[in-house]
């Protein structure tokens, strides 16, 4: 392999199964070693007659005759006879053969070869078997050695044949030089040796695990509705729960709340229409006056890709100014409904000119933009109606329980600013490095594109690794993120170290996902066959760059099928449907104080929706106005307060 990771060809690739050939040669060598080892464990007579016995046994199969010179035992005044088992021993100094001790005791002192004589192979083999080899055939005498050699052959072929198959497949489809590589879940685990979050797959029930160090670098899950994103998130949330970590779950469908909400754990539901929603006010999130601007920017975001538009920045500044009075959510909604209240609170600031009564169209546009969040603020429970209080700043310190941000589809438009603000504040508070003893907090944001632009989301993806608070976010296609974040989407979607890609039928999204997985450089052997007088074969090397996964493959993925990419390691896998018991309600309607969200009109046949009410309501009289903002610290004066906030 070269310095830059390219696998270079050293020799021309042969077309034979070289690994299997090597396995056969290895087994033959091992078998020979075993036979020689077994040979030297035999008696001297068995060793001497081994070659003749093998020859006679082979000839007996063809009913042949042959000439043999048998070894004779001689001695003074003794009749010579053919050496049998027990007559032969070691020669002098341990070399060669000589009469055994029992033969010497019987008067035999020498050995000699008989004259060549013709024997019938079958009869001679039978004599060898009975007189020398204790009834064993030649094959059975060395059966153990042959079995051992066969075991070596089987083991070697078990390793070599898959290698040859991979090699032939590589020659057929190409050899990877550079780029991502497609792996099975088992190969993916073997390569990365991950110990982080795991996904149970249907490939031999293998659990595909990502590296633990990649968790803090965030995870993205892309796929169409019904492709299996929620099922993947179920598996991840189960592991987060089992670890004892905290989680912030954006759950627009309520599926996660039903299965993971635990009041005993201290979980929180952030939905002003839910009875479990705590009391919250934007004022409680400010640690210093400067943070009022940050909160305002999270709440008011442009509805298109333009930045710095007047009717977005001006409401941000006015709302930040209002926060310095430490109002309740209902106070804010009341002020937004009464322009005179706004005028009095921006008196003496540059914002006064921005909503001057002399520029009526500009004034109306700014105040209309400012009042876009009034619906959500009016829906928030009062301190008396809620069972407890909550703020992102306090939760980020203790990190007790999970946070679920829920809402019905019909309420999405009214709740979007609040949900976006809460998530943005939590991201902001969790960007810093965690202190000792603090739990890791996971952001699990399903359908993140349904939120408005989150200013801190980009910061968290690009710079939030040191906070060790991973973000798992799901979306349906790149166009959704681009519509909200514009050019920043390209950078944001490249940040997650782990990417899960499920089916997407949108052509541009499928093409982008294919490019996200990457291209590979392939080297193929091209065979050319010539005919005629100079017939023959020639081979050339051809290099091509092609996508590892085609867009059509992504468009054609079945449900509960996915690709995962970490670095240059890609795996295709199937995963099972997860069926979890429902342990909590996705939505508990709030009753106490709910009547304040409705208006009664004389003669009206139906109740009026809050959005309609807020569009027509005007307060009977303005709330009393303080001459200056209430300072966060009693010792600070209002001028310093406003100056420090940059207003």
C-alpha span between 424 and 439 (Å, rounded):
19
pLDDT at 195 over 70: yes
Nearest Cα to Cα of residue 179 among 454, 522, 438? 522
* Mean predicted confidence (pLDDT) in 90-99: 72
C-alpha span between 131 and 19 (Å, rounded):
45
pLDDT in tens, 333-370: 999 999 999 999 999 999 999 999 888 999 999 999 89
Report the DSSP beta bridge partners of residue 521. Answer: 178, 545
pLDDT in tens, 448-492: 999 988 988 988 888 767 778 899 999 999 999 999 888 889 999
Q: What is the pLDDT of residue 431?
A: 86
Domain membership flag for residue 626:
yes
In the Cβ-directed half-sphere of 378, how many Cα atoms lie within 13 Å? Answer: 25
Q: What is the pLDDT of residue 561?
A: 97
Q: What is the pLDDT of residue 14?
A: 67
Q: For residue 621, what is the domain's CATH number?
A: 1.10.8
C-alpha span between 630 and 520 (Å, rounded):
63
Contact 454, 485 (CB under 8 A): no
* Mean predicted confidence (pLDDT) in 320-333: 93
Lowest mean pLDDT across 326-330, 555-559, 615-619: 615-619
Going by pLDDT thresholds of 50, 70 and 90, the confidence category of residue 308 is low
Average pLDDT, the chain: 85
C-alpha span between 186 and 203 (Å, rounded):
8
Going by pLDDT thresholds of 50, 70 and 90, the confidence category of residue 628 is very low
Going by pLDDT thresholds of 50, 70 and 90, the confidence category of residue 320 is very high
46: domain range?
19-146
Domain membership flag for residue 337:
yes
pLDDT at 56 over 60: yes
Domain membership flag for residue 579:
no
pLDDT at 552 over 90: yes
Share of the chain above pLDDT 70, in %: 86
Torsion of CA 178, 179, 180, 183, to 10 degrees: -20
Going by pLDDT thresholds of 50, 70 and 90, the confidence category of residue 610 is very low
Q: What is the pLDDT of residue 201?
A: 96
Domain membership flag for residue 443:
no
* Mean predicted confidence (pLDDT) in 254-265: 96
* Mean predicted confidence (pLDDT) in 254-269: 96
pTM of the full structure: 0.73
Query: Domain boundary at 146, 166, 184, which?
Result: 146
Domain membership flag for residue 131:
yes
Query: Domain boundary at 126, 146, 166, which?
Result: 146
Q: What is the pLDDT of residue 9?
A: 52
For residue 252, give the 3-state DSSP assignment.
Answer: coil
Q: What is the pLDDT of residue 18?
A: 87
Higher pLDDT, 302 or 496: 496
Domain membership flag for residue 624:
yes
Q: What is the pLDDT of residue 278?
A: 96
Lowest mean pLDDT across 166-175, 386-395, 413-422: 166-175
Q: What is the pLDDT of residue 532?
A: 66
Share of the chain above pLDDT 90, in %: 51
C-alpha span between 519 and 171 (Å, rounded):
19
C-alpha span between 629 and 637 (Å, rounded):
9
Q: What is the pLDDT of residue 96?
A: 78
Query: Domain boundary at 114, 146, 178, which?
Result: 146
pLDDT at 303 over 90: no
C-alpha span between 522 and 524 (Å, rounded):
6
C-alpha span between 104 and 250 (Å, rounded):
99
Q: Where are the alpha helices (DSSP H) in 486-536?
A: 488-494, 507-517
Q: What is the pLDDT of residue 606?
A: 44
Nearest Cα to Cα of residue 276 among 529, 518, 622, 592? 592
Going by pLDDT thresholds of 50, 70 and 90, the confidence category of residue 87 is confident
Domain membership flag for residue 31:
yes
Domain membership flag for residue 315:
yes
Name the domain count of the chain.
Answer: 2
- Chain-centroid distance, C-alpha 354: 50
């Amino acid at each position: 392999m070269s310095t830059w990771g390219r696998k270079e060809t050293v020799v021309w690739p042969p077309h034979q199964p070289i690994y299997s050939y090597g396995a056969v040669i290895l087994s033959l060598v091992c078998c020979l070693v075993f036979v020689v080892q077994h040979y030297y464990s035999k008696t001297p007579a068995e060793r001497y007659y081994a070659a003749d016995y093998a020859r006679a046994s082979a000839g007996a199969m063809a009913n042949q005759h042959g000439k043999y010179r048998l070894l004779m035992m001689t001695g003074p005044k003794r009749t010579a006879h053919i050496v049998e088992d027990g007559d032969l021993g070691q020669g002098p100094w341990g070399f060669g053969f000589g009469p055994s001790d029992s033969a010497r005791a019987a008067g035999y002192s020498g050995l000699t070869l008989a004259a060549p004589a013709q024997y019938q192979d079958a009869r001679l083999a039978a004599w060898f078997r009975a007189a020398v080899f204790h009834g064993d055939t030649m094959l059975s005498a060395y059966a153990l050695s042959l079995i051992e050699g066969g075991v070596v052959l089987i083991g070697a072929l078990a390793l070599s044949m898959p290698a040859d198959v991979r090699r032939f497949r590589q020659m057929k489809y190409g050899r990877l030089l550079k780029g991502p590589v497609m792996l099975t879940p088992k190969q993916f685990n073997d390569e990365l040796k991950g110990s982080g979050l795991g996904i149970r797959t249907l490939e031999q029930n293998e659990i595909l695990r990502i590296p633990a160090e990649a968790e803090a670098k965030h995870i993205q899950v892309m796929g169409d509705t019904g492709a299996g994103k929620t099922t993947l998130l179920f598996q991840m949330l189960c592991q987060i729960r089992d670890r004892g970590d905290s989680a912030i779950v954006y759950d627009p469908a309520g599926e996660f709340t039903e299965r993971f909400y635990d009041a005993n754990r201290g979980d929180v539901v952030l939905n002003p229409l839910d009875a479990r929603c705590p009391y919250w006010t934007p004022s409680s999130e400010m640690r210093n006056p400067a943070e009022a601007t940050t909160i305002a920017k999270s709440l008011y975001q442009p509805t298109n890709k333009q930045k710095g538009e007047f009717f977005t920045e001006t409401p941000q500044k006015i709302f930040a100014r209002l926060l310095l009075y430490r109002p309740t959510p209902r106070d804010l909604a009341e002020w937004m409904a009464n322009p005179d209240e706004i005028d009095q609170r921006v008196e003496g600031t540059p914002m006064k000119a921005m909503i001057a009564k002399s520029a009526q169209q500009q004034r109306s546009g700014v105040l209309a933009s400012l009042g876009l969040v009034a619906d959500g603020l009016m829906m928030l429970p009062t301190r008396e109606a809620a069972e407890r209080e909550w703020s992102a700043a306090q939760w980020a310190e203790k990190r007790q329980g999970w946070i679920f941000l829920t809402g019905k589809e019909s309420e999405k438009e009214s709740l979007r600013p609040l949900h976006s603000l809460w998530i943005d504040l939590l991201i902001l508070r969790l960007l810093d490095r965690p202190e000792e003893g603090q739990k890791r907090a996971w952001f699990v944001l399903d359908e993140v594109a349904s939120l408005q632009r989150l200013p801190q989301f980009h910061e968290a993806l690009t710079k939030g690794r040191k906070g060790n608070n991973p973000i798992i976010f799901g979306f349906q296609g790149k166009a959704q993120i681009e519509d909200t974040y514009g050019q920043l989407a390209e950078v944001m979607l490249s940040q997650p170290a782990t990417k899960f890609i499920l089916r997407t039928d949108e052509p541009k999204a499928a093409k982008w996902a294919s490019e996200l997985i990457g291209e590979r450089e392939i080297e193929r052997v091209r065979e050319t066959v010539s005919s005629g007088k100079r017939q023959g074969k020639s081979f050339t090397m051809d290099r091509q760059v092609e996508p590892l996964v085609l867009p059509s493959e992504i468009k054609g993925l079945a449900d509960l099928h996915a690709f995962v990419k970490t670095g240059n390691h890609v795996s295709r896998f199937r995963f099972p449907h997860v069926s979890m018991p429902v342990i909590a309600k996705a939505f508990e309607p709030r009753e106490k104080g709910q009547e304040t969200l409705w208006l009664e009109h004389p003669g009206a046949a139906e109740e009026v929706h809050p959005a309609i009410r807020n569009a027509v309501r005007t307060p009977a009289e303005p709330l009393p106005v303080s001459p200056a903002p209430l300072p966060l610290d009693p010792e600070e004066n209002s001028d310093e307060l406003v100056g420090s906030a940059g207003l």
